[in-house]
Chains A and B, each alone.
Chain A
Amino acid sequence: MRAAELALKRKPKRWVINLVFVGATVAAMVYSFAGSTINWTRVRTIGISLRVMMEGFADLQWDFFFGTGIFRFEEGVIYLTLVTLAVAFIGTFMGAVLAIPFGFLASHNIVGKRVARIGEAILVIIRVFPEIVLALILLKGFGMNALTGVMTIGIHSIGMLGKLFAEAIDNMDKSPLEALDAVGANAWQKIRYGIIPQVAADVSSITLYRLDINVRSATVLGIIGAGGLGASLILAADSWSWNILGTILLAIVIMVLTVDAISSYLRGKLV
């Protein structure tokens, strides 16, 4: 018994550390809320807001959805959803194409450590630059339309895609490059026959994954006028027309779930 008691005493007092962690987290949480100005009237009327929302959701605008009746097809949700998809798809494609040279530039194997660091730094800056701010800038050059959305998504996607492409290149089997050296291939031929066939599947899979993210981004970008569903969404939100908002949300959910499903199916096939 004595040995067991001693062992028990020696058991590290983890609960002290845990308590400190939990305590600190709770204190930080309280502090987070303390500074916030809460609109209590709004909070108290959540019940009413909820009823208004539900009433709106029960009254979805199908003419608006399909672009029939008083709506032209170009004003309907289906058309706007297609625009959003177009922005995401073309933007992702553009991003993937642009990310390929960046992927090489940031790959330690291809360009060496020193250049790769510079490449990585450029990619980090692209990645952390907020998408909406980028869109606000590009808006001035490309106008209040879907082209701005495409350019924003195209440029912003380079950040993550370039990084993941570089990783794919760095992780691949280098031995075929040695063989290509031995047959007398030059740099371009090594890329074409040694690198591309090895990374193509990974690169496609990464790009499909990015398409998932970009479909959501394309929706949000519309809010500042870069085309697609977002513009109608913010209009409806400003006037709290839940029937319209609900119609748009329904389209977003269907669109995102469909693209997710297609993208993960295709990614599964690629392995």
Chain B
Amino acid sequence: MSKFTLTNGKTIVKPFNKIWIIVACVALLLYLFSRFIPFDPTFIKLDQLKVILEKMFTPKGNRTWNDYFMYIPKSLMRPLQETINMSFAGTIIGSLIAVPLAVLSAKNIVKTKFIYIPARFLMNLFRTIPAMILALIAVFFVGTGILSGIIAITLFTFGIMSKMLYEVIETIDMNPVEALESTGATKVESLRYAVMPQVLPMFVSYLIYIFEINVRASTILGYVGAGGIGTVIKDNILYNYDRVGASVLLMLVVILFVQMLSSFIRSKLQ
């Protein structure tokens, strides 16, 4: 805060800028949180990063470059297929079961607090838990393999999709719903003919977007036993870095491809 006096005697006070409170808060949080992070320069071995990158992206020992790259079609196609399969199945099932919950969470469709508040709570609960932890739990129930991957992706999709979908439903034009209800349509009929046509394009667009997210997430779920490429990475992380490197390269290509395909299809849908 400071006061200015102009030559003609007028005065004006510059108010305190609130930005400094924010800066102070962020600085304080950074300081407090930094106490939880061990920082000892003697333990940092940046040269090791170069070593591991070299190990990942060059053939190991007496393997040739041919071995390095042929590993992809020979041993990674099956895990890749698992990864894609579980993303696909999980995305579809998760999205479908998200529909009823999204409808129940929408304030403009369900007018009773007693329904939409618990529905939203359920939705948020699934959204909080990372896919990896869902997979970990699923492995407990159905054992290692792709089924636990599907379950994890399903629940994960369910969380995101119900949230995105209910936000769309809440912003639709309510006039057609009113018009249908005035013709004596039931709730279900008005959902089918007044709500669904408005929501469907967004639903399909989200479906593709979530599939993209899921491919990215599912590549790694195998790390906790849910099948796919992640399993290969976990199995080789101790001794065969070149196998890990080859898997990573494949993952990069697949994810990039799915991402491009997804944004292409979504741009066509608009």
> Residue A90 contacts which of B34, B52, B81, B140 (CB distance < 8 angstroms)?
B34
Interface membership of A132, Cβ < 8 A: yes
| A128 near B216: Cβ-Cβ < 8 Å | yes
* Contact A220-B133, Cβ < 8 Å, known A36-B85, A133-B248: yes
Please name all residues of chain A whose beta carbon is closer than 8 Å to the beta carbon of B33 when the two chains form the complex. 82, 85-86, 89-90
**Bound: A266/B167 CA distance, A:** 20
Interface membership of A231, Cβ < 8 A: no
| B49 near A38: Cβ-Cβ < 8 Å | no
**How far in angstroms is the closest Cβ of chain A from B206?**
16
| B37 near A147: Cβ-Cβ < 8 Å | yes
Chain B residue nearest in CB terms to A217: B130
- Please report whether the interface of chain A is mostly helix, strand, loop or mixed according to DSSP: helix
| B44 near A141: Cβ-Cβ < 8 Å | yes
* Contact A141-B45, Cβ < 8 Å, known A36-B146, A42-B142: yes
| A46 near B219: Cβ-Cβ < 8 Å | no
* Contact A87-B130, Cβ < 8 Å, known A46-B141, A140-B49, A257-B124: no
**Bound: A41/B142 CA distance, A:** 8
**Bound: A29/B85 CA distance, A:** 8
**Interface segment, one of A173-181, A182-190, A232-240:** A232-240
| A252 near B128: Cβ-Cβ < 8 Å | yes
Hey, what's the 0/1 contact readout for B24-51 against A, CB within 8 Å counting as 1?
A: 0010011001111111000111101101
**How far in angstroms is the closest Cβ of chain A from B212?**
10
Interface membership of A142, Cβ < 8 A: yes
Interface membership of B158, Cβ < 8 A: no
**Bound: A49/B125 CA distance, A:** 21
| A129 near B124: Cβ-Cβ < 8 Å | no
Please name all residues of chain A whose beta carbon is closer than 8 Å to the beta carbon of B150 when the two chains form the complex. 32-33, 36
| A39 near B216: Cβ-Cβ < 8 Å | no
**Interface segment, one of B111-119, B170-178, B250-258:** B250-258
**How far in angstroms is the closest Cβ of chain A from B197?**
12
Contact residues, A121-157 vs B (CB, 8 A): 124-125, 128-133, 136-138, 140-143, 145-147, 150
Chain A residue nearest in CB terms to B247: A133
| A86 near B37: Cβ-Cβ < 8 Å | yes
| B82 near A35: Cβ-Cβ < 8 Å | yes
| A220 near B130: Cβ-Cβ < 8 Å | yes
> Residue B89 contacts which of A33, A125, A130, A138 (CB distance < 8 angstroms)?
A33
**Bound: A41/B40 CA distance, A:** 49
Chain B residue nearest in CB terms to A266: B22
Please name all residues of chain B whose beta carbon is closer than 8 Å to the beta carbon of A33 when the two chains form the complex. 85, 89, 150
Please name all residues of chain A whose beta carbon is closer than 8 Å to the beta carbon of B51 when the two chains form the complex. 140
Interface membership of B110, Cβ < 8 A: no
| B146 near A35: Cβ-Cβ < 8 Å | yes
Interface membership of B101, Cβ < 8 A: no
| B49 near A143: Cβ-Cβ < 8 Å | no
| B145 near A216: Cβ-Cβ < 8 Å | no
Interface membership of B169, Cβ < 8 A: no
Interface membership of A68, Cβ < 8 A: no
| A128 near B140: Cβ-Cβ < 8 Å | no
**Bound: A207/B88 CA distance, A:** 30
| B38 near A146: Cβ-Cβ < 8 Å | yes
**Bound: A146/B26 CA distance, A:** 20
Interface membership of B129, Cβ < 8 A: yes
**Bound: A154/B6 CA distance, A:** 48
* Contact A86-B128, Cβ < 8 Å, known A36-B145, A42-B142, A133-B220: no
Please name all residues of chain B whose beta carbon is closer than 8 Å to the beta carbon of A43 when the two chains form the complex. 142-143, 147
Please name all residues of chain A whose beta carbon is closer than 8 Å to the beta carbon of B26 when the two chains form the complex. 93
| B256 near A147: Cβ-Cβ < 8 Å | no
Interface membership of B132, Cβ < 8 A: yes
Contact residues, A253-267 vs B (CB, 8 A): 253, 256-257, 260
Hey, what's the 0/1 contact readout for B58-97 against A, CB within 8 Å counting as 1?
A: 0000000000000000000000011001101100110000
**How far in angstroms is the closest Cβ of chain B from A244?**
13
- Knowing that A93-B30, A131-B220, A141-B45 touch, tell me 17 more A-B residue pairs with CB under 8 angstroms: A32-B88, A35-B146, A36-B227, A37-B146, A39-B143, A39-B145, A39-B147, A86-B36, A89-B29, A89-B30, A89-B33, A128-B259, A132-B220, A147-B44, A216-B128, A252-B128, A257-B124
In the A-B complex, the 7 residue pairs with the closest CB atoms:
A39-B143, A86-B33, A32-B85, A86-B36, A42-B143, A256-B128, A36-B146
Chain A residues near B (Cβ < 8 Å): 25, 28-29, 31-33, 35-39, 41-43, 46, 49-50, 53, 82-83, 85-87, 89-90, 93, 124-125, 128-133, 136-138, 140-143, 145-147, 150, 216-217, 219-220, 223-224, 227, 233-234, 237, 240, 249, 252-253, 256-257, 260
20 contacts between A and B (CB under 8 A): A37-B145, A43-B143, A83-B36, A86-B34, A93-B30, A128-B216, A136-B237, A137-B53, A140-B45, A140-B49, A141-B46, A143-B44, A146-B37, A150-B37, A217-B130, A220-B130, A223-B132, A234-B224, A252-B129, A253-B129
